[in-house]
Homo-oligomer: A and B are copies of this chain.
Amino acid sequence: MALEWIGYVAAVLTTAAFLPQTVLTLRTRDTQGLSLGMYSLFTTGVACWLIYGWVRGDWALIAANAVTFLLALCILVIKLSNLRRDQLQ
């Protein structure tokens, strides 16, 4: 159907969305308002999408989720290192 291109727009937007968040978090290191639960569940979920893409041999799924995985993992690592620093203080 003609409207199916909207799926590609959706995929690009929901993948690209994590770029400004990663840039902001890398720059400010402010993870106070970021939920550890969210980034734990989300990073695990995206890893599952990656495996699913590999099982299905779907390279679009693999590519989009490989990018999102790296971005979400980056935010999760900063959140965890901030939590660790706060506990040591």
Query: Which residues does A use to contact B, with CB under 8 Å?
Result: 1, 3-4, 6-7, 9-21, 23-25, 28, 30-39, 41-42, 44-46, 48-49, 51-52, 55-56
Number of copies: 2
Distance in angstroms between the alpha carbons of A18 and B6 in the assembled complex: 23
In the bound complex, CA of A34 to CA of B33 (Å) = 7
Known pairs A30-B33, A55-B1; A48 contacts B6 (CB<8 A): yes
| Distance, CA A48 to CA B10, complexed state (A) | 5
Q: How far is the CB of A13 from chain B (nearest CB, A)?
A: 3
Q: Which of B6, B11, B55 contacts A55 (CB 8 A)?
A: B6
Question: What are the residues of chain B within 8 A of A12 when measuring CB–CB?
Answer: 45
